[in-house]
Amino acid sequence: MSRLILHRLFYGLLTLFVVSLVVFLATQALPGDAARAMLGRNATPERLETLRAQLNLDDPLALQYGKWVAGLFVLDFGDSYANALPVAEYLGPRISGSLTLMGISAVIATPIAVLLGAFSALRRDRAADHATSLASLVVAAVPEFAVGILLILAFATGALHVLPAVFAGSAGSVLADPVQLVLPVATLVIAVSPPIIRMMRASMIEVLESEYVQQARLKGLPESTVIWRHAAPNAIGPVAQVIAVQLGWLAGGVVAIEFLFGFPGIGLALMDAIATRDIPVVQAVTLLIAMVYIVVNLLADVVGLAANPKVRVSSR
């Protein structure tokens, strides 16, 4: 078991390395460099030259990449080209802002989706079940960006004017005005829930038809005890993996949502950094997102393995 986890960790690190290399080369392949992007139309040859020298953009690519990787080993992500701040300092408040947004969304989405899935299973083939299934299918098919736009139209600028349409707060204090978080969180919750709902429904149906649940019913236990003490805990196992994967998706999904709501997190920082060819920031953010994915998938695997006695025994 532990060997398996170490194995996975090693591959995770390898993946990160490949991601960093691909992202580095991809940003290099974009037309124009940081100096051009920053100076824009003010890019007189003299100013370009001065800035390129300042940012060491004239170094060979391998050297630029090497320097950056070497920095990683001492947890130095370099300085942002765009504003000369250390990347860690610039991204710090933004990371905590995004994590807050993702955290709140996860805490709300997980129990709601699990309960909805269970409810659907219990009402199997009745109107409520069909409605839930259809709704989760539709939402799953709509990109999260569109969900956000529809919510804005419905609650902020169109039909009703009850919620703020954009986040105009500060990354350092996202909870200062919680009402501004309602729509971005709602968008993420709606986007992240359908797979969890569908998995929970399927898993619950399977458990409800299993022998021990039939057994519990024959014993004459009250229905609520049967469902919440015997069925639900056993149904959660397979769903845990899906939940983990969905939480991993949040790390990427947050990019589009932040852009839409003007939420100053890592997503907005990434869009910004791509536009200005701010490679140190692009690298740091993509690695962070990749890392969340890898860790979450690892956790999902571990949960899956832990729930499977055969594996537990055989891979000592």
Partner 1 sequence: MPSTPAESSHHPADSAPDSSPTRRTVLMAGAAGAVVVPALSACGGGGSSDSGGGGRLRVGVAGGSAQDTLDAHQPTDNTDIARCHNLYESLCLFGTDYTIKMALAESVEVDGDAKLWTIKLKKGLKFHDGSAITADSVIHTLRRVTDPEALSTSSQQLSTMDRDNLKKVDELTVEVPFTEPYVTFRELLAEYAMGIVPEGYDPEKPIGAGAFKYTSFTPGERSLFAAFDGYWQGRPQIDELEIINFPDETARVNALIGGQVDAISQLPHSQLEVVKSNGNLQTLESETGMWLPFTMRVDKKPFDDVRVRQAFRLIVDREQMVDQALAGHGSVGNDIYGRFDPAYDEEKLPAQREQDIDEAKRLLEEAGYGDGLEVQLVTGPISAGAEAAAQVLKEQAAEAGVTVKLKQTNSTEYYGDNYLQWTFAQDFWVTRNYLSQAAQGSMPSAPFNETHWADEEWIRLIKKARATVDDKKRNEIIRQAMKIEHERGGYIIWGFVNTLDAFHSKVKGLEPSVTGHPLTSYGFHRVRIEA
Distances (CA, A) of 93 to 71, 88, 166, 172, 184: 21, 9, 19, 5, 18
Nearer to partner 1, 65 or 263 (CB): 263
Torsion, Cα 301 19 268 260, to 10 degrees, reads: -60
Nearer to partner 1, 247 or 281 (CB): 281
43 is a contact residue toward partner 1 (CB under 8 A): yes
Nearer to partner 1, 199 or 278 (CB): 278
187 is a contact residue toward partner 1 (CB under 8 A): no
Q: Which of residues 105-164 bind partner 1 (CB under 8 A)?
A: 152, 156-157, 161, 163-164
- Contact range with partner 1 by CB under 8 A, out of 98-106, 194-202, 207-215, 253-261: 253-261
Interface residue with partner 1 among 52, 272, 298, 305 (CB under 8 A) is 272
Strand partners, 86: 79
28 is a contact residue toward partner 1 (CB under 8 A): no
Strand partners, 79: 86
Q: What's the closest the beta carbon of residue 44 comes to partner 1, in angstroms? A: 5
* Residue 65 CB neighbour total at 10 angstroms: 18
Interface residue with partner 1 among 11, 28, 47, 225 (CB under 8 A) is 47
173 is a contact residue toward partner 1 (CB under 8 A): no
101 is a contact residue toward partner 1 (CB under 8 A): no
- Cα three-residue angle 266-106-201, rounded to 5 degrees: 135
Q: What's the closest the beta carbon of residue 95 comes to partner 1, in angstroms? A: 14
Q: Which token pair is 165? A: 């349409």
Nearer to partner 1, 31 or 309 (CB): 31
- Contact range with partner 1 by CB under 8 A, out of 14-22, 26-34, 132-140, 304-312: 26-34
DSSP, residue by residue, 110-140 = HHHHHHHHHHHHHTTTSHHHHHHHHHHHHHH
Nearer to partner 1, 117 or 267 (CB): 267
Q: Which token pair is 286? A: 């993509």
- What per-residue string of b and e applies to 213-248 under the rule 16 or more CB within 10 Å gives b? beebeeeeeeeeebbeebbbebbbebbbbbbbbbbb
Q: Which token pair is 204? A: 């619950």
CB 260 within 8 A of CB 145: yes
Q: What's the closest the beta carbon of residue 268 comes to partner 1, in angstroms? A: 8
Binding-site ranges for partner 1 (CB under 8 A): 30-32, 36-44, 46-47, 50, 80, 82-83, 85, 90, 152, 156-157, 161, 163-166, 168, 170-172, 180, 256, 259-262, 264, 268-269, 271-273, 275-278, 281
